Amino acid sequence: MGLISVSGEPGCRHDEIARLASQRLGFDLVTESRLRSLVAEEFGAESAIPDKAYPHVVASMLGRLATQHHLVVSLPGGCFLFKNFPGVLRIHIVASAARRIGNLMVEHRLERPAARQLMKQLETQLRTELMHKFGRATTPPQMFDLVLSSESLDSEQLAQLIQSAAEVRRLVDEGLWSDAAEAQLQFQVRLQLAKHGIQPPDRVSLKRDIFSHPSEQIFANLLDFYRIAWEYEPRSFPLQWDKDGKVMESFTPDFYLPELDLYVELTTMKQSLVTKKNRKVKMLRAIYPHLNIQVFYQKDFQNLIFKYGLAERLTKV
């Protein structure tokens, strides 16, 4: 995946530079307005995404696009995304306060005092947004691969420098993301989003106070994300009877996935409970050999997704 993040101080025209760079390189451009449209399509126009979930939402959107295009991204905090991926180039545009005020005067048809005030407002807004969404109000220079000054270079020249940097880095040679890589990302991202209770709007939500453990609610949210039908504790299976046929012991799996005909039981971290649960599952399989049941820890959610062929659904959500 070739991804170029272009950010800048207010008044540096970094959005325009990103647009010109994307045109030169033939990359797909993702701006704030386009991101809002993508989020509205995915989660509904009225959805309010919590600030803490914002990085995960953006990563989900960009990960999907990266299977079809190389990307130029002009978003606040874009340098924090995919920071461990080799095919990422982070660009930051800077300029003096006088230059930036002048740009705002032209763009917004303002007098200098009003433009100066606007720049202060934009700077405060940017710091606040970065703090709320990424936990830091500023980005140190080492976060960027290349810092460019627009003091004496125009937007076309800066876009040309970005093109040259991308060619030197051979970003296109990285290739587009594979479906498997994107599925891996989507799983990790959506597990994080599930902790915020975020799910597609076309999914009917059940009352969440039915769950007996937080991990069950997280798992249910995750299934909702992938639009996988589920039932919570739909049936209890007798395991032991007394001499009169009265049930003495039974087992109720946490979830049933009807599309897969699969029962799922989540364990806790207490070994004593795990041992007891494993004993019941062993008895269940012996008495009801036709049942398909899987027991796993929260860290094994990913194994469930891929083992039972659910990865194919990731590109559909």
State residue 165's pLDDT score: 95
Structure confidence at residue 206 (pLDDT)? 39
Q: How confident is the model at residue 19, as a pLDDT?
A: 95
Q: What's the CA gap between 311 and 266, in Å, rounded? A: 20
Q: What CATH topology corresponds to 197-316?
A: Endonuclease; Chain A (3.40.960)
Pairing state between β 88-94 and 146-149 = parallel
3-177: CATH topology is Rossmann fold (3.40.50)
Q: What is the pLDDT of residue 301?
A: 59
| pLDDT value of residue 108 | 93
Helix locations, the chain, DSSP H: 14-25, 32-43, 54-65, 97-108, 112-134, 155-169, 179-194, 214-225, 271-287, 301-307
Find the DSSP H helices in 78-178. 97-108, 112-134, 155-169
**Distance (Å, rounded) from C-alpha 261 to C-alpha 239?**
20
Per residue of the chain (317 residues), what is the pLDDT tens digit? Answer: 789 999 999 999 999 999 999 999 999 999 999 998 888 887 766 567 888 888 888 888 898 898 899 999 999 998 888 877 778 999 999 999 999 999 999 999 999 999 999 999 999 999 999 999 999 998 888 899 999 999 989 999 999 999 999 999 998 887 888 777 777 777 777 777 777 777 655 443 434 456 777 777 777 877 777 778 888 888 889 999 888 888 888 999 988 998 888 998 887 655 566 777 888 889 999 999 999 998 876 566 556 555 544 444 433 33
Q: Where along the chain do its domains lie?
A: 3-177, 197-316
- H/E stretch holding 1 reads none
Q: Which residue has the tokens 């799922």?
A: 264
Would you state the pLDDT for residue 304?
53
Do 3-177 and 197-316 come out as alike in CATH topology? Answer: no
pLDDT of residue 316: 38
| CA–CA separation, 48 and 196 (whole Å) | 11
Residue 310 confidence (pLDDT): 46
Contacts of 271 (CB under 8 A, 6+ apart): none
